[in-house]
Chain A
């Protein structure tokens, strides 16, 4: 029955002169999302709205599912389009539409017509009144409510006539690519994919870095991270995933620094390496899944210690979230089940029984001096052996 979708967007609407940039990016993202769907579509902008026209048969549910992953869309309206064959025929079609979409007619409604093509013989107000009358006559259970109707029946008169009444909520946010690019520190856990999702939602393109520690972490752990990146890429578009071999650095820290500070010092090196790659690849910030107090390395004191090694801003979208709230988002975006697969990641393997929770930055810096001899060389090697995986 439906042959098109009208795409509603929220925040882009308030942009000024550069609004077209946002709209074009949204069209691009919709095109990307629909590539994976059965059927062919034409996406076009007209007078402040974006239409997705199906050119062939298509799978309605699959298409909606994919559109629901495009940031920037606030609502998806399935549309019935028809040729202009006079008002009587239009009434007939609208009555049939209502019958198809709303088997239970016990509800209030309002007709909202828009006559974009001015040579249509009736003006908007007249269409509203006459169509309302026709509906009341055909379905006496229905009532008019012009303030808070259960169903808002939109009729747009353009080249063709478009009828729609349902709005399926979209993810909101802004089209990916309009906000620059950032580097996500992706582990195999629950939080980091959610953090990437949250920042991408604000229109930011995502690259990612994963620290691999063979033989302490397995190829399956790495595969899990690739799988997580792929799940996130359904929202963000293709992700460039950098896999860094961290084993030697980790062992070197383990040998030369106090055990309780291992995690903090390790994380400082992860941030340094991530920032180096970020700068090389034009990223404007780092993203982590940290949340205050969740673990020892995420207390405010620990965050001071890991934050000070970076110049770029570190975005921590989950900073005020409880674990349960993070889990809920990860379930919603479909990463939870993969995140909880039980493979060890490099943060847990050598962890001390009682890691420091209030690290003193001066002390940490002093202990890092123990690493002076070899660490630069090790970091350099790690960066040189960066394995790049394009995930989409």
Chain B
């Protein structure tokens, strides 16, 4: 049993799961915004990065990890809301390239400003859990307290988002305003506020991802911390279908596991190439994503 648990295959599955939940979360945050406002948010990596820097600036005032994390979340909500109000609001109903370009611009500005304020030197975020793998019979299991925390926190966030949409009145309104904004407005739903809320939620999900990613051993927090992850999360969202939150998560986790095997059995360079192939094949079979129910598009 021990030999099985420490085997290469299990190690890859567990390692892939850890990466996969992160890709899934990025994909989820993209879907949240796409569904509610039809904007493809290229700054989805940069906005939470900025919020995390601001939140964890409290570290130098001797606040603990959790206090900083909560602060980062609050800043994230604010950044998301303000972005929607000040930058994105004027773009609804414009050709779909306009919001894409604006968010690319926002991405460039945020990364440059972050590097100007905090420099591009990596900043270590303290971690409340050890990243050292548990051992079984002298062999590592590819699972550490930190990875359990990483996976656990992601699942909690996903469940919270699901619960919000399924079981609360607010969630119902959110879904309604995304599906039929005009009808919702007529029924007295304050659609404008809900759109802002969608952006706030999405950025908060992003902040959780950013904190998890930059507390691992390898990189620390840098202005570019989310660039690579964004690409994979984006691919996951496109494979899963931008309309489907469940699809985003499933695609993200699957992509993480597949790529872990690719990295282990081929090489790390091949990861992004395989991701590209997966995307092309998935989109050739279903041009609007694997999990999108209706393939009709609005005319």
A binds B: no
Contact surface of B with A, Cβ cutoff 8 Å: none
